Structure 1
Amino acid sequence: MPLKHLRIIAGPKAKAHIRANGLKAADIAAIPGAAGGPKGLILQGLDHFLFNHWLTNDTLAERVKNGLPALQLIGASIGAWRMAAAASSNPSNALNELANQYCEAQRYPKGVDRDSITETCMRMVENLTAPHLSSMGKPTHKNLVVWVNKGLQPLHKPHPHPTRPPLARKRGFAAAVVANSIGRNTLAHYFERHVLATQPDELGWLTKPFDRIPLQMHALNEGNLQASLLASGSIPFVLNPVQTIPAAQPDQPALEGPFWDGGLTDYHLALPYHRVNGLVLYPHFSNTVTPGWLDKFLKTRKANPDWMSNVVLLCPSAEFVNSLPGRKIPDRSDFKRYGENHDLRIQHWREAIQRSNALAEEFENWLKHPHFDV
């Protein structure tokens, strides 16, 4: 039966595996969560199905028993918040709390400043993680991976008022935009990836360089989880950067920033997934994977097809999107579109969340008889 609400796009290796064997929960080695702010809300239905019903603790335990790494939950920005909720011992509760916080807490007045937005987001992270801090920081049979960027010179020149970025920093970001239009590798002069993981020793496929942007791996636990999640969502000039991320162990030095949104270099996490032993299941709000946030403006810059050979992408169909309020997925432009009519924005966001259950229902049915329209 053709899919109506959901599109399933598989790389050649993933498609061949599914045609021969079907798709089982034990096949999944990693799940990415893209940056994208409110867009992540449209994946609530899929997230609830995946982490509460399909990728059960018994299935994940079987992976580890068979000598395979824990399920890798890789997230940037809102994707990191989603993956943290998924990593908890009660994903249903945590995912509901994430949706509630994201919808309700952001009632910004006209002319709101960065300090207020930063304070709001900090409280959102705290409210999301506080009941689940122990299990998020040490998940069972899951490896939570949080993507963060450190700004290099001239993005972190000292300033007497760190919350008010100097003109040099604005010029630095402008220069990064121009440099990125020439090539992604030029971002190595402006950013350094810092990846924090609850089991960093199982991420060898990431530590081998795959481009020229530096990457440093660190341990993640309940002691530095909140700072890491806030940093991963700190959009430049919208939020203040996180200046320091505590070390996972007290005898280690803290990480000194400034730390910015993980999506700056890796917006949709277009990573070398072909190195992963297993399939990568990617619930996504788009049918394309854009490497960096700055690449949104470069329509031809997409993920390396070879890297996506073992990826199964799940995304809303155009028909589904057109049926949503405003004929669109929630996004950051809604804050301007609805202005101070917060109730209407929240009503439409919650309707989109409720409608997202249709994506999960179609995926659940598809799993019984996997097929590809193309």
Structure 2
Amino acid sequence: MTIEILAGAKALHHIQNKGLQPQDIELMVGASGGPKWLILSRLDQYLAEHFLPKATQSIDLVGSSIGSWRMACYAQKDPLAAFKAFESIYMHQRYETLNPQEITEFVNLVLDTIFDDEQSEFIVTNEKRRLHVVAVRNRFLMNGRSNVSQTLGLLTAATGNLLSSKVVEALYPRVLISQGGSHAPYHERPEIIELGVHNLHGALVASGAIPMALEPIKVAGGKDRWHWDGGMVDYHFAGPFNAQKGLVFYPHFSPKVVPGWFDKAIPWRRAKAKNYENVVMVVPSQKFIDSLPYGKIPDRKDFIKMDDIQRESYWQNVLSATDRLVADFHQKWHKDQFASAVKPIEVIL
């Protein structure tokens, strides 16, 4: 078994009785994770070509960090071409120093290649696939971008997070850069910036601006603050999601849900099953992950632990292996729309 289909209580009942159809999806979610997304690249391509075109209804797309870039690809006129281009350029990124300025140059290259003005115009006006990009911003008294300012803010947030994740949200408010100024993915309205061609690039940069690794940005239409990686509050998304009529479809790179970025070192901080009742997750099995080279999926540490040739070879081997995920997804879906394969999501929460 290479892939697992996991569902919350309501979604589980639906799939066991009716199967999962693309027409059932109301919201799609993309998590933070940097290079981890590569394990989903071929599945994204399959979904873009064979699965989601069958969904004629409008679907909201919400993502943080690399997840927002993936969702922006889904919102393009030709999502398959976007994903293929994204995979190709992402695979071959190389750096001399890994400093924020150098990485920012690569980010701008990706934006210019995959999200030019014509593609951006289609994304921000696409009524069938409505994009919502998650970022966070600094408070006025912490609105600095120096390493000292960043370190102080991160240490304060990490310490406060031991008591409550609300401390992180208080220090770094969630900002949703959203088509039409909508807060559709959330029950409660966060701070909103309306998405447009003029700020799509800025939104995507902000959503992936990992502190101490990338340069922050001020997003047009928002407050005069530095904006940072949305994974700080929505790393893997804790829910509950605002999907009243349909299901939440969540292809994820790992059989593990870590709500916020600062929760990675807190094993007891997990998403609650009651917040995932209408969620369908598609994840690689742990057995599949263990079978990969080095027994893991790609991550940012690969840039430090491997030279470029070794890293690119490893990443290519992972991509080739993930073709098995696509084959397994295809087989399970065509057999009975996952009715016999779906499992309760509690097994990972």
> Shared topology, TM-score over 0.5?
yes
Q: Find 1:246's aligned residue among 220, 226, 250.
A: 220
Alignment of 1:313-328 (within 5 A): 313-328=281-296
2:106 alignment partner, one of 89, 95, 120: 120
> Residue in 2 aligned with 1:227?
202
Distance of 1:281 and 1:188 partners within structure 2: 25
Q: Deviations over 1:247-278 (max 9, x none)?
A: 3xxxxxx5422000010111012221264321
Structure 1 residue corresponding to 2:322, chosen from 356, 360, 364: 356
Q: Per-residue deviation at 1:154?
A: 4.3
* Equivalent residue number for residue 147 of structure 1: 134
Q: Give 1:75 deviation, angstroms.
A: 0.8
Deviating more after overlay: 139-148 vs 76-85: 139-148
- Indicate yes or no: 2:239 matched with 1:271: yes
2:203 maps to amino acid: S
- Which residue identity does 2:115 align to in structure 1? T
Q: Is the 8 A contact 1:152 1:190 kept in 2?
A: yes
Question: Do the aligned residues in 2 keep the contact of 1:291 with 1:302 (CA within 8 Å)?
Answer: yes
Residue 212 (structure 2) pairs with residue 237 (structure 1): yes
Matched residue SS, 1:55? helix
Does structure 2 retain, via aligned residues, the 8 Å contact 1:288–1:302? no
Secondary structure of residue in 1 paired with 2:162: helix
Letter in 1 for 2:237: L
* Alignment deviations for residues 41-67 of structure 1 (CA, whole Å, 9 cap, x no partner): 1101221121221111xx443x2xxxx
More moved, 341-350 vs 327-336: 341-350
CA distance in 2, matches of 1:207, 1:199: 16
Q: What do residues 333-356 of structure 1 show as CA deviations (whole Å, max 9, x unaligned)?
A: 101110xx2122112212212322
Q: Given that residues 5 and 283 in structure 2 are in contact (C-alpha distance below 8 angstroms), is that contact kept between their aligned partners in structure 1?
A: yes
Alpha carbons of 1:88 and 1:275: their partners in 2 closer, same or farther (altered >3 Å)? closer
> Residues 274 and 138 (structure 1 numbering): CA distance in 2 closer, same or farther, change over 3 Å?
closer
Deviation string, structure 1 residues 325-372 (Cα, Å, up to 9, x no partner): 22210011101110xx21221122122123222212211221232213
CA distance change for structure 1 residues 80 and 204 in 2, over 3 Å: closer, same or farther? closer
Q: Which residue of 1 aligns with 2:341?
A: 372
2:166 is paired with a residue whose SS is helix
Q: 1:258 aligns with which of 216, 226, 244?
A: 226
Q: Residues 296-315 of structure 1 correspond to what in structure 2 (within 5 A)?
A: 296-315=264-283
Deviation of the 1:114 alpha carbon: 1.8
Contact 2:30 2:68 in 1 (8 A): yes
1:13 corresponds to which of 7, 10, 13: 10
Listed as ranges, the matches of 1:1-374 within 5 Å are 4-56=1-53, 59-61=54-56, 63=57, 70-105=58-93, 107-109=94-96, 111-130=97-116, 132-157=119-144, 162=145, 165=146, 167-201=148-182, 203-204=183-184, 206-208=186-188, 215-242=190-217, 244-247=218-221, 254-273=222-241, 275-338=243-306, 341-368=307-334, 369=336, 370=338, 371-372=340-341, 374=343
CA contact (8 A) 2:62 2:185 kept: no
Contact conserved, 2:16 with 2:342, CA < 8 A, in 1? no
SS in 2 for 1:174: helix
Shift of 1:197: 1.6
> Any stretches of 5+ residues in structure 1 without a counterpart?
64-69, 210-214, 248-253
The structure-2 alpha-carbon separation of the partners of 1:277 and 1:126, relative to structure 1 and needing over 3 Å to count, comes to same
Q: RMSD value over aligned CA atoms?
A: 1.8
Which segment is superposed worse, 269-278 or 19-28? 269-278
Q: Which residue of 2 aligns with 1:67?
A: none
Shift of 1:292: 0.4
Query: Match of 1:129, as an amino acid?
Result: F
Q: What letter corresponds to residue 6 of structure 2 in structure 1?
A: I
Structure 2: segments with no counterpart, 5+ residues: 344-349
Q: Once the two structures are aligned, what percentage of the paired residues are identical?
A: 31
1:218 to partner: Cα distance = 2.2
SS of equivalent to 1:356 = helix
Query: Relative to 1, partners in 2 of residues 1:76 and 1:208: Cα closer, same or farther, differing over 3 Å?
Result: same
Shift of 1:32: 0.4
Distance 1:76 1:39 in 2: 13
> Partners of 2:286 and 2:150 in 1: how far apart?
39
Q: Is the 8 A contact 1:272 1:308 kept in 2?
A: yes
SS in 2 for 1:314: strand
Aligned to 1:251: none
Name which structure has the greater RCO, CA cutoff 8 Å, separation 6+. 2
Go from structure 1 to structure 2 and tell me whether the alpha carbon gap of 1:115 and 1:373 turns closer, same or farther (over 3 Å shift).
closer
Q: 1:74 to 1:228 in 2, by over 3 A?
A: same
Change (3 A) 1:205 1:147: closer
For 1:149, what is the secondary structure of its paired residue? Answer: strand
TM-score (norm 2): 0.92
Deviations 1:222-261 (A, max 9, x none): 221111101110000101111x2123xxxxxx54220000
Query: CA 1:355 to 1:174, structure 2 compared with 1: closer, same or farther past 3 Å?
Result: same
